Amino acid sequence: MKKHLSILFLSVYLLSVTQLVELIKLPVMVEHYVEHKEQNPNLTVLQFLCIHYQGPDVFDADYAKDMKLPFKSHTNISSVVFYPLIQEYETIQKVNFTYKKQNLYTYCFAYSSISLSSIWQPPRDC
């Protein structure tokens, strides 16, 4: 029971945090491939993948279905995708820092050496 429960929790976590949720869309991709195959019987799987995943998006009649394919659109809010939006970068000015060495720790002996040295003396006869 613990094994099944841990597999369930792990799968729920991975589907919510990572892009594995896109794998659920694989049946949509197979269905869309069958539709393209009916229109063009000579179409291979590799050609289908090149049409939909290589190059820019084509705005044709089945654009809405194209966007439902796996890894075509980012629907997961928790995923972070970085795109280089800024082409021009500003120059960064060099800042000179000076290093000032400070003696933060000083050795201070609060007790006199006479009182401490008397502790380690052998007992004396009065």
Instruction: Please write the tens of the pLDDT for every residue from 24-67.
Output: 888 889 999 999 999 999 999 999 988 888 878 888 888 888 88
Highest mean pLDDT among 39-53, 73-87, 100-114: 39-53
> What are the extents of the domains in the chain?
23-72
pLDDT for 106: 65
pTM passes above 0.85: no
Tell me how far apart the alpha carbons of residues 16 and 14 are, in angstroms, rounded to a whole number.
5
List of residues 6+ apart from 62 with CB closer than 8 A? 32, 35
